Structure 1
Amino acid sequence: MINMVSFYCWIFGYICGSIPSAYLIVKAISKTDIRQYASGNVGSTNALRVLGPKGGALTLLGDIAKSILALALPAYLGAGRYLFYAAGLGAIIGHNWSIFLKFKGGKGVAVSVSVLTLLQPIAGIISILLFALIVWTTNYVSLGSILMAMSWPILLFLFKQPMSEVYFALLLFIMIVIQHRGNIHRLISGTERKTSLKKTENIE
């Protein structure tokens, strides 16, 4: 019974995460397909590049909202922390491999940090501040995302949280590293794209 409930929470989280916020918002505002512009990634950073700060912020809010929705079911059931892990992981996988976009999607950063912050607010907020500092000083969103995710298991371990929480955070970090393989190679080679918070890409 417990395994079935976990499975249902995972499925619910996956469906919520699959809602392609960036795709829908860019399509509604600019009548274009976000997958055809800038990095082609279906996420908040690429929406920022295509639409500018307002569109990027709106997309980010959409990603946060679907993360909250994904965790609503385990919160309602109230049957154990593992249900939150299942739903949160489902939301991240859904975002990265959306059923509505032929199993394509984003890189899971916004959804991952939303889930982590909902489960561990202090660690989440500290990591967001770290992300903001890195992006502010380097303009590399990918670098900020990777280092932010790296901080999650470290912070939870230092805060003496249950090892199940640390392992969950470590899993999220590994998933983000996998999704950023290309970015890591470009960072090393010095060819990674920088992101401006003030202008959009030319999509004409």
Structure 2
Amino acid sequence: MTYLPYIVAAVGGYLLGSIPFGLILTRAAGLGDIRQIGSGNIGATNVLRTGRKDLAFATLILDSFKAGLAVLFFTFAFASRNVGLIAGAAAFLGHCYPVWLGFKGGKGVATYAGLLTFASLKGLMVGGPVWLGMFLLFRISSLAALTAAAIVPIGAYLLGETHFAVGVLAALSLLVFWTHRANLQRLLKGTEPKFGEKKKPAETE
């Protein structure tokens, strides 16, 4: 068994995932450096803090699709779903730790959702409703993301997903918890803001 396709997919997926669409869009719109706003994150949630819902939505779609594109391209290029999964996982890593930005990127939720959409519909069938239900119930984005991330690999396994895919999803879910560690601390303290609420100026991630 050759590992070259997996190495190529990992490198290609990482570079694709490293494209900081949130930063590019906000700079193009004349809003400055998104890393100097709110949490300093380059993801759609922080872009929304600029007041530009259109840019936040565009960031959400683009951040999601870069993982999906990595999955599709490398799955068909090497005729292997597993290679596509590795490419999507690498895109997730690229989004969270982009080489162009000193390895300081987003938290990976939108990118994870894009991977599930194109690589594991069984995972999406579980994670999507859980995220939506938790968000509508509590209006806390991080809580919805963490709950969905926790349940995705378990639900995918119960629905008959392959062991390889479940392993990849489990690893990514753990990384979601890592990138949300500051949010998790605030959740435990009861200080995590709800959607639409502003953080205190002194708070940093």
Fold agreement, TM-score > 0.5:
yes
Letter in 2 for 1:96: C
Q: Match of 2:195?
A: 195
Runs of 5+ consecutive residues of structure 2 not aligned to the other structure: 200-205
Runs of 4+ in 1 over 4 A off after TM superposition: none
- Residues 87-96 or 123-132, more deviating: 123-132
Whether the aligned pair in 1 keeps the contact of 2:122 and 2:161 (CA below 8 Å) is: no
- Residues 52-61 or 99-108, more deviating: 52-61
Whether the aligned pair in 2 keeps the contact of 1:41 and 1:106 (CA below 8 Å) is: yes
Q: Give how far 1:122 is off.
A: 4.0
Q: Match of 1:83?
A: 83
Q: Give how far 1:91 is off.
A: 0.2
Q: Match of 2:6?
A: 6
Aligned-pair identity (%): 31
Please tell me the root mean square deviation across aligned C-alpha atoms, in Å: 2.1
Say whether residues 1:158 and 2:158 are aligned partners: yes
Whether the aligned pair in 2 keeps the contact of 1:45 and 1:56 (CA below 8 Å) is: yes
Equivalenced residue count is 200
1:149-182 superposed Cα distances (whole Å, 9 cap, x missing partner): 1121111111022221211111111010111111
1:119-167 superposed Cα distances (whole Å, 9 cap, x missing partner): 1224314412221221222221110110111121111111022221211
**C-alpha distance in 2 between matches for 1:68 and 1:17:** 10
Letter in 2 for 1:48: L
Q: Match of 1:20?
A: 20
Whether the aligned pair in 2 keeps the contact of 1:34 and 1:40 (CA below 8 Å) is: yes
1:126–1:157: structure 2 CA closer, same or farther, 3 Å change rule?
closer
**C-alpha distance in 2 between matches for 1:166 and 1:9:** 19
Q: Match of 1:112?
A: 112
Alignment of 1:1-204 (within 5 A): 2-196=2-196
Q: Residue 161 of structure 1 aligns to a residue in which SS?
A: coil
Q: Residue 112 of structure 2 aligns to a residue in which SS?
A: helix
Q: Give how far 1:200 is off.
A: 8.8
Whether the aligned pair in 2 keeps the contact of 1:21 and 1:63 (CA below 8 Å) is: yes
1:176–1:3: structure 2 CA closer, same or farther, 3 Å change rule?
same
**C-alpha distance in 2 between matches for 1:193 and 1:36:** 19
Q: Residue 49 of structure 2 aligns to a residue in which SS?
A: helix
Letter in 2 for 1:5: P
Whether the aligned pair in 1 keeps the contact of 2:123 and 2:153 (CA below 8 Å) is: no
**C-alpha distance in 1 between matches for 2:192 and 2:68:** 31
**C-alpha distance in 2 between matches for 1:33 and 1:186:** 25
**C-alpha distance in 2 between matches for 1:53 and 1:122:** 30
Normalised by the size of structure 1, how large is the TM-score? 0.90
Letter in 2 for 1:168: V
Normalised by the size of structure 2, how large is the TM-score? 0.89
